[in-house]
Amino acid sequence: MRKRVVIAAAGIGAALAVAGGGVAVATSGGDDGPVSHQYTQEQADAATSAALEATGGGTANSVETDNENGATYEVEVTKPNGATVDVRLDENYQVVVIEGDSDSGGN
């Protein structure tokens, strides 16, 4: 009986920690399997803003954490001309690279 109480309390504590910390967790199941991404809404908003500024506007389709090319964040943007690109940003929201999205073939 005591183990059940401890497990339930640990589960509730973990749920409260995530809710209280404001951490967004997104999971996607692409060709490489499920991937988890953790960032705050503030971080996602800052990354989106920086990416849209770098592309001259458009629509941000998604934000993910990233580790390619020294990046911290990846924002998929559909540019005003319709091309879709991945904007990789470092931890200070500075552009590391902008490249065509491999899923859409855009530039």
pLDDT in the model for residue 67: 85
Tens place of pLDDT for every residue, the chain, 107 residues?
A: 444 433 433 343 333 333 333 334 443 434 443 444 678 999 999 999 999 999 999 999 999 998 888 899 999 999 999 999 999 999 999 999 999 976 554 44
- What SS3 string covers 51-98? HHHHHCCCEEEEEEECCHHHCCEEEEEECCCCCEEEEEECCCCCEEEE
Number of domains in the chain: 1
How many Å apart are CA 107 and CA 100, to the nearest integer? Answer: 4
Burial code (b: 16+ CB inside 10 Å, e: under 16) for 1-26 equals: eeeeeeeeeeeeeeeeeeeeeeeeee
Q: Is residue 10 part of a domain?
A: no
Range of the domain at 50: 25-100
Task: State phi, psi for 26 to the nearest 5 degrees.
Answer: -115, 140
Residue 103 makes CB contacts below 8 A (sequence gap 6+) with 84
CATH of the domain at 39: 3.30.505.20
pLDDT in the model for residue 17: 36
pTM of the model as a whole: 0.62
Q: Is residue 67 part of a domain?
A: yes
